[in-house]
Amino acid sequence: MYPVLILAFVLVPNWAKSQDYNNAIGLRAGLTSGLTIKHFMGNSRAIEGIIGIWPYSTSITGLYEVYKGAGAAGLNWYYGGGAHASFYTGRIYYNRYYDRYYRAYDDHAFGLDLILGLEYKIPEIPFALSLDIKPFLEIHRGGGTYTALDPGLGLKIAF
């Protein structure tokens, strides 16, 4: 087992430096915090999926992104758009400040998303850091709407 680990530590850094960044998996912290998976399709285009977790809710987001160089090695601007589906679960709780009971409800919603961000792929190690803003419009099954800017910070393992 130890020879395999030693071989992995010797070979992986050289492989990671010589390969392009084609895939990544990581975490996004923001309004829709959660797991993010990215795949580059070539020609500076990527698709990204986010499984988001909110209070009393989960969401699935799909984005199409275009990458442009930002003037430094490993630094890129990106922009794009996509859609999401959100699923809410109901809870009853008491707010002492307002002396009221509130009832959340089971609901689902669909929405449109935009994204604009800056990503830095660290050259020596297989990590990428990103800072983005992902505004969205969400339409609930009852006809209500919800909008948010959703800024986020991401850390991904690139491979």
pLDDT digits (tens, 9 = 90+) for 6-46: 444 444 443 333 336 899 999 999 988 999 999 999 899 99
**What span, in angstroms and rounded, lies between the C-alpha atoms of 7 and 116?**
40
- Can you give the residue range of the structural domain that contains 140? 2-158
Q: What is the CATH number of the domain that holds 25?
A: 2.40.160.20
Name which of 48, 54, 64 is nearest 34 in CA terms: 54
**What span, in angstroms and rounded, lies between the C-alpha atoms of 82 and 88?**
20
| Total of domains in the chain | 1
**What span, in angstroms and rounded, lies between the C-alpha atoms of 107 and 109?**
7
Give how far the C-alpha of residue 70 lies from the chain's centroid of Cα atoms, to the nearest Å.
Answer: 20
Query: Residue 22 contacts by C-beta under 8 Å, 6 or more apart in sequence?
Result: 39, 40, 159
Question: What confidence tens digit (pLDDT) does each residue in 57-105 have?
Answer: 899 999 999 999 999 999 999 999 999 999 988 766 677 777 776 666 7
Q: What percentage of the chain reaches a pLDDT higher than 70?
A: 83
**What span, in angstroms and rounded, lies between the C-alpha atoms of 23 and 46?**
9
Dihedral angle computed from the Cα positions of residues 156, 112, 150 and 140, in that order, rounded to the nearest 10 degrees: -120
Single pTM value for the model: 0.77
List, in sequence order, every residue forming a beta bridge with 77; answer none if it has no partner. 68, 118
